[in-house]
Amino acid sequence: MNHPPTGTPDSAPLDAIPWHQQFRRSQIVKFLEAVQDLIAISLCLGLFGVMVLQLKRTFSSLLSTSEFHEVTADILFILILVELFRLLIIYLQEQRVSIGVAVEIAIVSVLREVIVRGVLETDWQQILAVCLFLMTMALLMVVRVWLPPTFAGVDPEAQVSARMRLHHE
């Protein structure tokens, strides 16, 4: 039988190996990913509760008032919450943040603020900033279509991780 010579790290008793070297990186990464998924799941549950409460508030405001701005703002807020929920679901399924959904959330959020405040009551500088922001978001949506699909069969991060694992083993 071939045993490693005494004094090498392979032959050292488990107590002699520092605690931080007793763990494998893959185990640590799996644990951290599980914790991250748990955080995302708890965010989903909390967001779902907020959506239910907001929906109840919206229905009660529909029955009690006929304020167009308030009802529209409530409906747009619910749509923003739904899109955030969808973003979290995509994250849990694919372990990535969807650029398209994030841009859509940003656009709807800005439009909601414009509707709540009212275009006529907003300074022209803010309207100009909103227009520039919306044009930038629209440009991001267009550019996103032309970008090569990162996650459709080719995952550069996975390739780098595989190379790193081979290098360390």
153, part of any domain: no
| Per-residue pLDDT reduced to its tens digit, 97-107 | 888 889 999 99
Q: Is the pLDDT of residue 45 over 90?
A: yes
Q: Pick left, alpha or beta for residue 148 (phi over 0 → left; psi -120 to 50 → alpha; otherwise beta).
A: beta
**Domain total in the chain:** 1
- Single-letter amino acid, residue 23: F
Segments forming the whole domain that contains residue 42:
24-145
Q: Which of 4-18, 24-38, 125-139 is the most confident on average? A: 125-139
Region 128-147: what's the mean pLDDT?
88
Report H helices in the chain.
25-64, 68-94, 99-117, 124-146, 156-168
18, part of any domain: no
102, part of any domain: yes
161, part of any domain: no
Region 32-36: what's the mean pLDDT?
92
The Cα 82–Cα 32 span in angstroms is 27
The Cα 100–Cα 92 span in angstroms is 16
pLDDT tier at 64 (50, 70, 90 boundaries)? confident
95, part of any domain: yes
